[in-house]
Amino acid sequence: MIDFLREVGAWFADPANWTGNRGLPGLLSAHVGLTLASLAVSAVLALPAAVYLGHKRRGGALVVSVVNIGRAVPTFGVMGVIFPLTLAFSATARPLGYWATFVAMVLLAMPPMFVNAYTGVRDVDPALVEAARGMGMTDRQVLTDVELPLALPLVMAGIRTAAVAVVATVTLSAWLGYGSLGTYVFVGFAQRDQVLVFVGGLAVAVLAVITELGLGGLERLVDPLRAIRRRRR
């Protein structure tokens, strides 16, 4: 056990592991880059539709299906199905495995983002919305001044859930040959290098925790009721 940890320490101490394509910084940035790209695209696809439907208080059935499909979609399966189709793209702009992982990650991130944003907007107290309309706010002002600020913490919670899931799952890209922190895990398994597997797993876990804590902090920061919650404490 001690020996093992010493080996892990030695791995981190080795300058060779800090440079190049297989170096920690390189794989980390590829990992984070793919995460951010797929989260951004999911947000663009999911949030406006969710906010619109929540504002109109319509589409409850759609949301239920989104959740169920989201739960049922096997990420591995998606990657396997998409991979052959993206070989043409991968040869050009992006490395092998990028697009298949990207699509799978977008599908993974959309349900929690959609559901949280939808619920957040829809569940704003109807009396509040009626009062706001009664004061003479336009439909758009009701959305921007009342519904969105109050829904923001929930919207952010959806983004956080999605981000943590994606940051952990991007690891699978290594299976299709795209370099991410998962590369350590896959290569480690192939080479029966326990230290490498451990380093990969540890890096992903740390990244996921940082994501969770960071976005959780941001969530509290955008809470429109923060001032009063703090004062009441």
Partner 1 sequence: MIRLESVRKVFPGATAPAVTSLSLEIPEGEFVTLVGPSGCGKTTTLKMINRIIEPTSGTIEVGGQDVLSIEPHLLRRSIGYVIQQVGLLPHRTVEQNIATVPRLLGWPRDRIEARVAELVEMVGLEHEMRDRYPAELSGGQQQRVGVARALAADPPVLLMDEPFGAVDPIVREHLQMEFKDLWRRLGKTVVFVTHDIDEAVRMGTRVAILNIGGVLEQYDRPEEILANPASEFVARFLGEERGLRRLGLLPVSSATLERGPVVDVSAGPTEARAVMDRHEVDWVGLLDGNRLLGWVPASEIGSTPLRDLEPREFLVRLRPDDSLRRALDAVVTSRTRVGVVVGDEGYLGMLDVETVAEEITE
Helices 148-169 and 98-122: crossing angle, nearest 10°? 150
> Cβ neighbours of residue 23 under 8 Å, at least 6 residues apart?
16, 17
Please report how close the Cβ of residue 1 comes to partner 1 at its closest, in angstroms. Answer: 52
Residues 72-131 that bind partner 1 (CB under 8 A): 125, 127-128, 130-131
Structure tokens at 188: 């480690």
Binding mask 127-166 for partner 1 (x = CB under 8 A): xx-xxxxxxxxx--x---xx--xx----------------
SS3 144: helix
> Cβ neighbours of residue 189 under 8 Å, at least 6 residues apart?
197
Binding mask 41-70 for partner 1 (x = CB under 8 A): ------------------------------
User: Segment contacting partner 1 (CB under 8 A): 31-39, 173-181, 185-193, 223-231?
Assistant: 223-231
Q: Which of 13, 93, 227, 233 binds partner 1 (CB under 8 A)?
A: 227
140-156 b/e with 16+ CB inside 10 Å = b? eebbeebbbebbbbbbb
How far apart, in whole angstroms, are the C-alpha atoms of residue 58 and residue 47? Answer: 15
Identify which of residues 131 and 210 has a Cβ nearer to partner 1 in the complex: 131
Please report how close the Cβ of residue 160 comes to partner 1 at its closest, in angstroms. Answer: 20
What are residue 96's phi and psi, to 5 degrees?
A: -50, 135
Identify which of residues 146 and 163 has a Cβ nearer to partner 1 in the complex: 146
Binding mask 2-41 for partner 1 (x = CB under 8 A): ----------------------------------------
Q: Which residue type sits at 87?
A: L
Identify which of residues 95 and 149 has a Cβ nearer to partner 1 in the complex: 149
Identify which of residues 15 and 136 has a Cβ nearer to partner 1 in the complex: 136
Alpha helix positions (H), the chain: 2-13, 24-56, 60-72, 75-92, 98-122, 126-135, 139-141, 148-169, 182-190, 194-221, 226-232
Residues that bind partner 1 (CB under 8 A): 125, 127-128, 130-138, 141, 145-146, 149-150, 224-225, 227-228, 231-232
